[in-house]
Amino acid sequence: MRISNTLFNEIVDDIEQYIPKLITASHSIGDLFYEPLTNEGSQFFSDYITGLSNLIQTVMMTLKDAADHAPSMIEPVTYALQAIPEQVAELEKALAQQQFVHVADILKYELADHLDKLLQALKESRS
């Protein structure tokens, strides 16, 4: 056992508090792509991608500890998590092709939805 049960629960609590912030950011930043993107908007997007990457890494590390603390969490959270990197790849493709409306739609509808599914999987596996 790498970490205590208390620390594990605190980490999961932090993740559950962080995901709604990313969902809100998905919508806000998505809206920026419906118009020409400013430097400030580009920075917001960069920060969002960093936050999303950090979330994915944290959840993956937490899943390793879930074997000791919450084994029932592993399958539903893994399933919910796997769609997010796929959406990020789609996002990168749309960005490279300068399909900014598609970028906005992915952020607002696809990624936000998958983040919500991840949040629900975390919450349901702990109840």
In SS3 terms, the chain reads as CCCCHHHHHHHHHHHHHHHHHHHHHHHHHHHHCCCCCCHHHHHHHHHHHHHHHHHHHHHHHHHHHHHHHCHHHHHHHHHHHHHHHHHHHHHHHHHHCCCHHHHHHHHHHHHHHHHHHHHHHHHHHHC
- The pLDDT-based confidence of 37 (bands split at 50, 70, 90) is confident
pTM: 0.93
Per-residue pLDDT reduced to its tens digit, 69-106? 999 999 999 999 999 999 999 999 999 999 999 999 99
